[in-house]
Amino acid sequence: EIVMTQTPLSSPVTLGQPASISCRSSQTLVHSDGNTYLSWLQQRPGQPPRLLIYHISNRLSGVPDRFSGSGAGTDFTLKISRVEVEDVGVYYCMQATQFPITFGGGTKVEIK
Amino acid sequence: QVQLVESGGGVVQPGRSLRLSCAASGFTFNYYAIHWVRRAPGKGLEWVAVVSFDGNNKYYADSVKGRFTISRDNSKNTLYLQMNSLRAEDTAVYYCARGGRLIRGSPFDIWGQGTMVTVSS
């Protein structure tokens, strides 16, 4: 099983300031087909998860461009360029390269 | 609009069974693999199972293998999760989520609102 480790656990951020979340996998997420199946999801309080970014850096349609993803191999990052009130919630990285699909433990983004 | 709606959750005693349903609308259901994901109280997301677009291929998390069965009825645009021998640690909100045409690799782009399952005596 691929273990996904997220840091930090919690990220208090001032409105308008950037936030960064790191995700590390226990083995490479590069599939034999050459793709890297790493996604980022947001879960606001009381809401279901929502896909933000897939294949490391592709933003889903409708996701604000203040969200960006980067990385390769085993190390990945989600950045929010300027945190807004609506960004409060828990963020998860997820790998779908290998079964079982696994999630990071989550990072709680809150306003300072 | 494109949506998934779960139902069937509730309170059940340990060792008993429950069947969850996930009704799809607004998209071609039989084109996509569909997953179950759960979130236990105070915990993070845990992937549970997936079924391929045609129902012929299935994968499970080790924590539910042998107890849970995922299935789908494409004529009814509905996904199911039969949960047997339930344990306290199965208590969670259960979500269905749309994958892609292929059973592996695709991101989960559509999620239902979830249904709560509580296993308690």
State the average pLDDT for chain A. Answer: 97
For chain A, the C-alpha Rg in angstroms (whole number) is 13
Q: Please report which confidence band the pLDDT of residue B23 belongs to, taking 50, 70 and 90 as the band edges.
A: very high
Residues on chain B touching A55 (C-beta within 8 angstroms): 107
Taking 50 as the pLDDT cut, the residues of chain A under it are: none
Give per-residue pLDDT as tens, B24-76: 999 999 999 999 999 999 999 999 999 999 999 999 999 999 999 999 999 99
Nearest-CA distance A109 → chain B (Å): 14
Give per-residue pLDDT as tens, A53-76: 999 999 999 999 999 999 999 999
Of B68, B60, B59, B112, residue with least CA distance to B87: B68
Would you list the DSSP string of B26-47?
A: SS-GGGS-EEEEEE-TTS-EEE
Maximal C-alpha separation, chain B? 40
Of A37, A48, A54, the CB nearest to B114: A48
pLDDT at B104: 87
B105: closest chain A residue by CA: A96
The span from the CA of A90 to the CA of A107, in Å, is 5
- Using a pLDDT cut of 70, give the percent of chain B over it: 100
Alpha-carbon distances of B36 from A111, B82, B107, rounded to whole Å: 31, 11, 13
